């Protein structure tokens, strides 16, 4: 959601998205290791923390290039990605770390499927955050301003909208979303400096498959990718799961190059 929101409003593809997710995972790990905070209690702290991080990173890094060419934006976000990875590597080494809560091994069974509690909680919080973001974009005044800016930046500026503030808020919300995702993933997956790469690939597939800038499309595409990944792992084997959803990705783009819902920008953000 954060990735497609940033593109939908700002028309910037954030190649550092996975690294912000990695930082969210480290926030959860260190809060658990040093302060003995449950990872989901850490959400209360991580949300304002990543809002602040998003605001600062926009002001210092993204604001000067937000109106530059796409090449400049790509190199800037790729450079930010490399910088964050190496900072994490220097500070915390390349060792994989784990968040092992008391309920880590607790299994919940639904029909013939087995899940651990961390997966259930992560799913529930993700659904709640996604619904809140949709409601915010649909019914709040700020959401309407963001949709207007996505539709036509120049017309919005002529109507008195501070587009720079809108871009800052958009980037901040997008970073907060992926920060929350990192905290939710920490109890399920190992934490290490390049952890974001395995997740951001799936995120790019879902966002492009659904149609860049289309939040509803990204949500539907993510569910399709998840279903293909799980079914493929069960039927063929886990080694093939990435191959299967990438083949699906290529096949759909051959038929619909703009993705399932195309690139609708502001109209899609109001879904």
CA gap 23, 180 in Å, rounded? 10
Q: Quick check: helix, strand or coil at residue 116?
A: strand
In this structure, how many other beta carbons lie within 10 angstroms of the beta carbon of residue 216?
18
Q: What is the pLDDT along the chain (271 residues), one digit of tens a residue?
A: 899 999 889 989 899 999 999 999 999 999 999 988 988 889 888 999 999 999 999 999 999 999 888 899 999 999 999 999 999 999 999 999 999 887 777 788 877 777 888 888 888 899 999 999 999 999 999 999 999 998 888 888 888 899 999 999 999 999 999 999 999 999 989 999 999 988 888 888 888 888 877 888 888 888 888 888 888 877 887 777 778 888 888 888 888 777 777 654 434 444 4
pLDDT recorded at residue 270:
44
DSSP 240: G
In this structure, how many other beta carbons lie within 10 angstroms of the beta carbon of residue 218?
30
CA gap 130, 125 in Å, rounded? 8
CA gap 191, 183 in Å, rounded? 10
Half-sphere exposure of 30 (CA within 13 A, CB side): 11
pTM as predicted: 0.89
pLDDT recorded at residue 264:
46
Which positions ≥6 away from 213 have C-beta within 8 Å? 4, 7, 8, 11, 150, 263, 264, 265, 268, 269
Residue 93 CA from chain centroid, whole number: 24
Which positions ≥6 away from 45 have C-beta within 8 Å? 27, 31, 37
Supply 74's token pair: 């790509």
b/e per residue 161-177 (b: at least 16 CB within 10 A): bebeebbbbbbbbbbbb
């Amino acid at each position: 959601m954060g990735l497609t929101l940033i593109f939908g409003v700002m028309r910037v593809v954030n190649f550092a998205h996975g690294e912000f997710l990695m930082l969210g995972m480290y926030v959860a790990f260190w809060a658990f290791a040093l302060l003995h905070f449950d990872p989901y209690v850490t959400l209360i702290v991580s949300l304002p923390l990543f809002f602040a991080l998003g605001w600062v990173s926009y002001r210092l890094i993204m604001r000067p290039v937000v109106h530059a060419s796409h090449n400049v934006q790509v190199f800037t976000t790729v450079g930010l990605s490399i910088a964050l990875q190496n900072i994490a590597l220097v500070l915390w080494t390349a060792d994989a770390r784990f968040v092992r809560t008391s309920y880590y091994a607790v299994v919940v069974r639904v029909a013939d499927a087995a899940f651990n509690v961390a997966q259930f909680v992560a799913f529930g919080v993700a659904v709640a955050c996604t619904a809140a973001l949709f409601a915010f974009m649909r019914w709040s005044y700020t959401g309407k301003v963001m949709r207007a800016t996505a539709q036509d930046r120049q017309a919005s500026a002529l109507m008195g909208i501070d587009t720079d503030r809108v871009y800052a808020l958009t980037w901040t919300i997008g970073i907060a979303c992926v920060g929350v995702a990192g905290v939710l993933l920490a109890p399920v997956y190992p934490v290490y400096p390049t952890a974001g790469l395995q997740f951001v690939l799936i995120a790019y597939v879902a966002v492009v498959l659904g149609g860049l800038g289309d939040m509803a499309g990204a949500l539907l595409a993510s569910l399709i990718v998840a279903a293909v990944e799980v079914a493929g792992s069960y039927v063929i084997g886990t080694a093939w799961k990435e191959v299967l959803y990438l083949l699906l990705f290529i096949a759909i783009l051959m038929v619909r190059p703009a993705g399932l819902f195309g690139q609708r920008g502001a109209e899609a953000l109001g879904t």
